[in-house]
Chains A and B, each alone.
Chain A
Amino acid sequence: AQKITQTQPGMFVQEKEAVTLDCTYDTSDPSYGLFWYKQPSSGEMIFLIYQGSYDQQNATEGRYSLNFQKARKSANLVISASQLGDSAMYFCAMREGWSGAGSYQLTFGKGTKLSVIP
């Protein structure tokens, strides 16, 4: 079974609108972390946001927020007020296990290509 599933290969959004990118995950570990990364066409991986499994509140970083629904095992990324520069691939990733082990062996999803339309 896939550990990280991103069901939307591609998404379009109008500039200034909000968009939600879906991510579901599969783990039996009670301690895990969920990440979102942005990969522009230039190729670099840019950290956007992190949510720990024990975090009580949904993570937010500027225009990015993570809609964490633990019971449904979903960690959707919400981008508010989309900008042309948001056009990129977006990857959801998961780290399983106790963070104290210092392990960042992330499992990535296949990604969603977001295109922002002027």
Chain B
Amino acid sequence: EPEVTQTPSHQVTQMGQEVILRCVPISNHLYFYWYRQILGQKVEFLVSFYNNEISEKSEIFDDQFSVERPDGSNFTLKIRSTKLEDSAMYFCASAQGPTNEKLFFGSGTQLSVL
């Protein structure tokens, strides 16, 4: 079965550094998302992306965050200057379209900011 692929599975970085988290959504999907889960807490929506632009974003998704679909397959989340509180599991997700009710998540990237 097709799956959403995320790399790396773990990322350790120093506070203030930039990180890029990478995702390859399912190939015929058109809607892409980033969510995060701080350890022991709820999964939280960050941003949705469709037709090469952000369609929705949460309060968490401030100017330090950006997303990009640089080519036909990759979908990236960049954090410009990481903070300690950015430490979390980051999930990429994709869906085929508005009539497809299944939202598929990747296996996540565990980001640790030191």
Binding site for B on A (CB under 8 A): 33, 35, 37, 42-47, 50, 52, 91, 93, 99-111
Q: Are B110 and A43 in contact (CB under 8 A)?
A: yes
Q: Which A residues are CB-close (under 8 A) to B95?
A: 102, 104
- Stretch in B14-22, B42-50, B68-76, B77-85 with 4+ CB within 8 Å of A: B42-50
Closest to A100 in B: B98
* A101-B43 in contact given A42-B107, A44-B105, A47-B104 (Cβ < 8 Å): no
- Can you list 6 A-B pairs with a CB-CB distance of less than 8 A? A102-B98, A103-B56, A104-B93, A106-B43, A106-B103, A108-B42
Q: Are B93 and A44 in contact (CB under 8 A)?
A: no
Most B CB contacts (10 A, CB to CB) among A44, A50, A106 go to A44
Chain B: interface residue total (CB-CB under 8 A): 30
Closest to B101 in A: A50
Q: Which B residues are CB-close (under 8 A) to A52?
A: 101
* A99-B33 in contact given A37-B105, A107-B45 (Cβ < 8 Å): no
Closest to B3 in A: A44
* A103-B43 in contact given A44-B107, A45-B105 (Cβ < 8 Å): no
Task: Give 18 A-B pairs besides A102-B48, A104-B33 with Cβ atoms closer than 8 angstroms.
Answer: A33-B101, A42-B107, A43-B107, A44-B106, A45-B43, A45-B105, A45-B108, A46-B105, A47-B102, A47-B103, A99-B99, A102-B30, A102-B31, A105-B48, A106-B43, A106-B45, A107-B45, A108-B42
Residue from A44, A93, A103 within 8 A of B48 (CB atoms): A103
Q: Which B residues are CB-close (under 8 A) to A105?
A: 33, 45, 48, 56, 58
Residue from A47, A50, A93, A104 within 8 A of B43 (CB atoms): A93
Closest to A104 in B: B103
Q: Which A residues are CB-close (under 8 A) to B107?
A: 42-44
Q: How far is the CA of A50 from the CA of B99 in the complex (A)?
A: 13
Closest to A2 in B: B42
Q: Which A residues are CB-close (under 8 A) to B89?
A: 43
Interface flags for B25-47 (1: CB within 8 Å of A; 0: not) read 00000110101000001111100
